[in-house]
């Protein structure tokens, strides 16, 4: 019982001690600062800011309070306040080197190099033997293109350190190159390498030799780099380029394989290399087994990375191995179930392969994890569209609109798609309402203008409005076959068949030779102009291109109409 009583007394004391302290009539600036720091370190920035304000009211020369107020302002992306408070802290305590460095870095980020240089030079004047300050100012001199001053600062570092090291050697080489003194840069690099040979500097010498088309010297340096480090990826890349120059294909693939497996080369570089130089139609056609091997090496090196699976999957689909490609996409998704990229890649691949049922099924499953992802939602909508299930496609687009932000660029595409879909359902009034909504966002959106104009022409209403909209599209893209066809067809409906013939012919020339609808339009215009033989010839071609259009029946009807004349 006594122990419980003491515990209660202790608890009461602990609870009321802070309120007793903060209830005192007078608190010092440091009291407020310490409490402010407690909130600052806990991430309670608003509370900390108010406490630092109270600190400054009691002591307007409290530099630390101004410094932390600057950190809060910068955390809130208020650069002007951040600069104001940071400058005040520096002014109040110019001997605090951290204030000076932070302020100088801030000016560097704002691209105010003169102010940054001034602060660093003041710092160096006070601490002439501190090499870290010279490193900082070299970077700023470099940004300001004051290369001679940067090189002087580098001399001082080496004087303090008692000679060059790999870092200062690299700095000097880079500065000389940026200054445009390539000859001196090469001389410096070679001298340093002769005294301190490393794989990196051997590689750089190899790069210089290769840029001068001296493949033998380049290969020698690259091989020297590999003597230091047999797995040095950059040197393998250099040798791959030498091998390519010499048409030594087996050596080229050997070194690229080493590069793919190298730990010191970024995945981004490897993927760019594969996409831009190796996975090309000509290269794959000539060296498919070698490219297959590189893709395998990529998967072995990064066995759970979604991007590598995507590269491998896309490669297999491109060479016609769709099943293997999909299997890789699916495995990537299974290995990374929380990766939106992996889900999207698999679903979009299903769509590209016209596997619409599967795309819908997997899309709906993935949307349980990512319900408001517009990409997956759109693939589901497009898949329904391809299956002619227009109502479900509409339902999906309407759902997408419920979560898109007001200015989202996809909104106009949703409106445009809804216009197309409602027209498919013979609800032209609703279709045209969505086209109008799309044009309110962008009155010059060409796909909307074209589709709106074309569907208006199919109703036979407001043909002048349709022509004006279509005119905008061909003014913007005079070689676009779809826009030319729409414009020509509207001219035909308005009775200007000579002009219509010209534009439809341009559509055919510019890429619609295999489009049965365009060929059908051209035949209609030819028939209207009395060029019957040519019209039937084009109708015959259109029927061969797409028998589902029922053009054979049209041919019979037109022939019968001529007989009745």
For the chain, how many residues are written? 565
Top mean pLDDT of 175-189, 315-329, 432-446 is at 432-446
Q: How far apart are CA 142 and CA 491, in angstroms?
A: 63
Mean pLDDT value across residues 169-184: 92
Q: Which residues of 76-104 are buried (b: 16+ CB within 10 A; e: fewer)?
A: eeeeeebbebbbbbbebbeeeeebbbbbb
Q: What DSSP string runs through 93-144?
A: -TT-HHHHHHHHHHHHHTT-HHHHHHHHHHHHHH-TT-HHHHHHHHHHHHHT
Fold: same for 354-443 and 473-565: yes
Residue at token pair 């009539």: 25
Mean pLDDT value across residues 224-239: 97
pLDDT band, residue 392 (cuts 50/70/90): very high
Q: What DSSP string runs through 161-227?
A: HTS--HHHHHHHHHHHHHHT-HHHHHHHHHHHHHHS--HHHHHHHHHHHHHTT-HHHHHHHHHHHHH
Mean predicted lDDT score pLDDT of the chain: 91
Per-residue pLDDT at 49 exceeds 50: yes
Q: How far apart are CA 272 and CA 269, in angstroms?
A: 5
Query: What pLDDT digit, counting tens, does each position of 249-307 carry?
Result: 999 999 999 999 999 999 999 999 999 989 988 889 999 999 999 999 999 999 988 88
CB-side neighbour CA atoms (13 Å) of 229? 19
| Three-class SS of 340-402 | HHHHHHHHHHHHHCCCHHHHHHHHHHHCCCCCCCHHHHHHHHHHHHHCCCHHHHHHHHHHHHH
Q: How far apart are CA 338 and CA 198, in angstroms?
A: 43
* H or E segment to which residue 13 belongs: helix 2-22
Per-residue pLDDT at 371 exceeds 60: yes
Q: How far apart are CA 434 and CA 247, in angstroms?
A: 58
Note the pLDDT of residue 177.
92
3-class secondary-structure state, position 480: coil
pLDDT band, residue 441 (cuts 50/70/90): very high
Query: What pLDDT digit, counting tens, does each position of 109-133 carry?
Result: 999 999 999 999 999 998 888 888 8
Domain boundaries, the chain: 354-443, 473-565
Helices and strands of the chain, counted as H and E runs = 32, 0
Note the pLDDT of residue 565.
66
- Name the burial class of residue 122, with classes exposed (0-12), middle (13-18) and buried (19+) by CB atoms within 10 angstroms of its CB: middle
- The domain 354-443 is placed in CATH, from the list 3.30.390.50, 1.20.1070.10, 1.25.40.10, 3.30.1330.10, at 1.25.40.10
Helices 532-545 and 516-528 meet at what angle, rounded to 10?
170
Top mean pLDDT of 175-184, 316-325, 484-493 is at 484-493
pLDDT band, residue 375 (cuts 50/70/90): very high
Query: What pLDDT digit, counting tens, does each position of 516-541 carry?
Result: 999 999 999 999 999 999 999 999 99
Token readout for 105 is: 């870095």
Q: Domain 473-565: give its CATH code.
A: 1.25.40.10
Pair 294, 253: CB distance under 8 Å:
yes
Note the pLDDT of residue 9.
30
Pair 78, 113: CB distance under 8 Å:
no
- N- to C-terminal Cα distance for the chain? 120
Per mean pLDDT, which range of 21-35, 44-58, 396-410 is the poorest?
Answer: 21-35
Per the model's pLDDT, the better-predicted residue between 45 and 164 turns out to be 45
Note the pLDDT of residue 25.
53
Q: How far apart are CA 457 and CA 305, in angstroms?
A: 51
Question: CA-CA distances (angstroms) from residue 344 to 272, 306, 380, 404?
Answer: 21, 11, 11, 18
Could you tell me what percent of the chain has a pLDDT over 70?
95
Write phi, then psi, for 406 (nearest 5 degrees). Answer: -55, -40
């Amino acid at each position: 019982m006594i122990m419980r009583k003491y515990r209660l007394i202790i608890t009461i004391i602990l609870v009321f001690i802070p309120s007793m302290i903060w209830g005192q009539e007078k608190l010092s600036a440091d009291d407020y600062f310490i409490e402010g720091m407690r909130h600052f370190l806990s991430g309670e920035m608003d509370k900390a800011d108010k406490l630092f304000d109270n600190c400054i009211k009691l002591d307007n020369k409290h530099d630390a309070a101004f410094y932390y107020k600057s950190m809060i302002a910068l955390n809130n992306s208020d650069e002007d306040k951040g600069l104001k408070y940071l400058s005040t802290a520096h002014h109040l305590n110019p001997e605090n080197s951290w204030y000076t460095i932070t302020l100088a870095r801030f000016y560097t980020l704002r691209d105010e190099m003169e102010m940054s240089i001034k602060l660093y030079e003041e710092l160096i004047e006070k601490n002439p033997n501190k090499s870290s300050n010279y490193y900082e100012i070299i970077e700023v001199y470099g940004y300001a293109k004051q290369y001679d001053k940067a090189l002087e600062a580098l001399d001082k570092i080496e004087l303090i350190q008692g000679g060059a090291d790999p870092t200062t050697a690299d700095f000097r080489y880079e500065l000389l190159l940026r200054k445009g003194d390539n000859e001196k840069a090469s001389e410096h690099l070679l001298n340093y390498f002769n005294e301190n040979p490393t794989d990196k500097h051997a590689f750089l010498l190899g790069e210089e030799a290769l840029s001068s088309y001296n493949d033998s010297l380049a290969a020698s340096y690259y091989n020297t780099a590999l003597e230091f480090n047999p797995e040095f990826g950059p040197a393998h890349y250099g040798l791959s380029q030498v091998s390519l120059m010499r048409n030594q294909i087996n050596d080229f693939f050997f070194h690229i394989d080493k590069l793919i497996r190298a730990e010191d080369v970024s995945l981004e570089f490897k993927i760019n290399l594969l996409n831009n130089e190796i996975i090309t139609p000509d290269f794959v056609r000539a060296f498919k087994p070698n490219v297959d091997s590189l893709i395998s090496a990529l998967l072995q090196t990064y066995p759970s990375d979604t991007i590598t699976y995507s590269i491998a999957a896309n490669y297999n689909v491109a060479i016609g191995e769709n099943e293997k490609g999909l299997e890789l996409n699916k495995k990537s998704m299974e290995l990374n179930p929380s990766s939106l990229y992996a889900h999207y890649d698999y679903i979009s691949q299903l769509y590209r392969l016209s596997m619409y049922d599967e795309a819908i099924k997997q899309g709906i499953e993935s949307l349980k994890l990512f319900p408001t992802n517009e990409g997956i939602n759109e693939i589901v909508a497009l898949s329904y569209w391809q299956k002619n299930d227009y109502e479900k496609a509409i339902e999906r687009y309407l759902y997408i609109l419920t979560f898109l932000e007001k200015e989202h660029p996809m909104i106009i595409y949703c409106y445009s798609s809804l216009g197309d879909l409602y027209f498919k359902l013979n609800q032209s009034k609703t279709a045209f309402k969505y086209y109008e909504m799309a044009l309110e966002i962008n009155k010059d959106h060409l796909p909307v203008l074209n589709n709106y104009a074309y569907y208006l022409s199919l109703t036979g209403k407001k043909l002048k409005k349709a022509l004006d909209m279509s005119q905008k599209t061909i003014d913007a893209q005079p070689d676009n076959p779809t826009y030319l066809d729409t414009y020509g067809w509207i001219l035909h409906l308005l009775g200007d068949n000579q002009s219509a013939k010209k534009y439809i012919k341009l559509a055919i020339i510019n890429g619609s030779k295999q489009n049965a609808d365009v060929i059908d339009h051209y035949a209609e215009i030819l028939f209207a102009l009395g060029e019957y033989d040519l019209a039937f010839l084009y109708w015959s071609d259109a029927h061969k291109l797409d028998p589902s259009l029922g053009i054979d029946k049209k041919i019979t009807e037109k022939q019968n109409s001529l007989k009745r004349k």
